[in-house]
Amino acid sequence: MESKELTVIIVTYKSEDKIFNCLKSISNDIPVIVVENSNNLILKKKIEDNFSNVKCILTGENKGYGAANNIGLKLIKTKYGLVLNPDTILGKDAVKNFLITANKIKEFWLIGPANDQMVNLDYKEDLIDVDNLKGFAIFFNILMFKNNYFDENFFLYFEEIDLCKRVKKSKGKIFLDKNILINHEGASSVDKTNILELEKNRNWHWMWSTFYFHKKHKGFLLALFITSPKILSAIAKTLFYFLTLNKKKRDIYFCRLSGILNSIIGKKAWYRPAID
């Protein structure tokens, strides 16, 4: 039944240490599409040789989280899709409970799992109507989206916030289900082989996406006003760490400044980490 209703999408990028544990937690009768943001033929073969239910697609380059997820979502032939991060482990009956809720509330657009904080909160109902979901696990009602999923202008950060905001603008329903548990390590999807490059990448895209998100939903001038403290902080700290000869901190804050300035002048999110 699950294999006829659900397809799982997992976007990876240098996630070899995480993806196999994630795949092991998924029933082998559920189709899975792994979208690897590279041309890693060895990883593709290893995944497909070990998991008969998994198809691994190579993008050939790092297209980012949103664009890669869109590739997988647009290939789905089932009613529902579950987008997972590679550093997640499905809890017992997670898929079963997703489908129970999906078939009970057919007008939903998105469903998210409960995390530890939400489980401990004193909600009387198991199903909670929410405005946003965490991006590590999102259950899609495919027909509601008409192939319009993530905004591919985001390379990293804010993709799921933007998605949820657009759903709400369309009067769509988003739910969090306390009966669904998915373990998420957090900030662990990419192997930590080059900490500084990953940190520079995160800072650049966090700032780029912050301005772009506010500009998209509130207009250029209000976005500039909202992010001006971040701009001034990035300028001040870049200069401070330059003068104090702290190259590591200087590079990180320069990336923050570069990210938001590129977003302000309308350039695409072009920065990529220098990782082999």
Query: Comparing 22-26, 92-96, 124-128, 237-241, which segment has the lowest mean pLDDT?
Result: 124-128
The DSSP letter of residue 194 is -
> Is 60 exceeded by the pLDDT of residue 80?
yes
Would you call 50 exposed, middle or buried from its count of C-beta atoms within 10 A (0-12, 13-18, 19+)? Answer: exposed
pLDDT at 36 over 80: yes
Give the DSSP H/E element, type plus range, for residue 139. Answer: strand 137-141
| This prediction's pTM | 0.91
pLDDT score recorded for residue 121 = 53
Q: 213 or 272: whose pLDDT is higher?
A: 213
Residue 126 one-letter amino acid: D
Hey, what are 34's tokens?
Answer: 């792994």
Stronger pLDDT, 128 or 194, i.e. the higher one: 128
Three-state DSSP class for residue 266: coil
pLDDT at 204 over 70: yes
- As a dihedral over the C-alpha atoms of residue 251, residue 155, residue 188, residue 94, rounded to 10 degrees, the angle is 160
pLDDT digits (tens, 9 = 90+) for 160-177: 999 999 999 999 999 999
AA letter at 59: T
Q: 267: how many CB neighbours lie within 10 A of its CB?
A: 13
Handedness of CA 22, 34, 130, 107 (dihedral sign): negative
- Residue 52 corresponds to which tokens in the numbers above? 């008969």
- Name the band, by pLDDT with cuts 50, 70 and 90, for residue 125: confident
Q: Select the more confidently predicted residue: 18 or 190.
A: 18
Q: Which of the two residues, 273 and 96, has the higher pLDDT score? A: 96
- Give the pLDDT of residue 150: 98
- pLDDT bin (cut points 50, 70, 90) of residue 189 is low
Confidence check: pLDDT of 115 > 80 = no
When pLDDT is cut at 50, 70 and 90, the band that residue 273 belongs to is confident
Closest to 133 (Cα-Cα) out of 180, 199, 92: 180
Which runs of consecutive H residues, i.e. helices, occur in 91-219? Answer: 94-104, 116-120, 159-169, 195-218
How high does pLDDT run on average in the chain?
A: 92
Better-scored residue on pLDDT, 15 or 108? 108
CA distance readout (Å), 48 to 42, 44, 104, 126: 10, 6, 34, 37
Q: What whole-number distance in Å separates Cα of residue 114 and Cα of residue 118?
A: 6
CA distances from residue 126 to 2, 119, 206, 215 in whole angstroms, order as listed: 22, 9, 33, 35
Segment 41-67 mean pLDDT: 96
Binning pLDDT at 50, 70 and 90, where does residue 3 land?
low
- 3-state secondary structure (DSSP) of residue 113: strand
Is the predicted pLDDT of residue 117 greater than 60, yes or no?
A: no
Side-chain-side CA neighbours of residue 224 (13 Å): 8
Note the residue count of the chain.
Answer: 276
Say if residue 71's pLDDT is above 90.
yes
Q: Are 97 and 104 in contact (CB under 8 A)?
A: no
- Output the CATH code of domain 2-184: 3.90.550.10
Cβ neighbours for 17, distance < 8 A, ≥ 6 positions apart: 191
pLDDT, mean of residues 137-160: 96
pLDDT above 60: residue 197: yes
Picking from 89, 206, 115, 88, the residue whose alpha carbon sits closest to that of residue 155 is 206
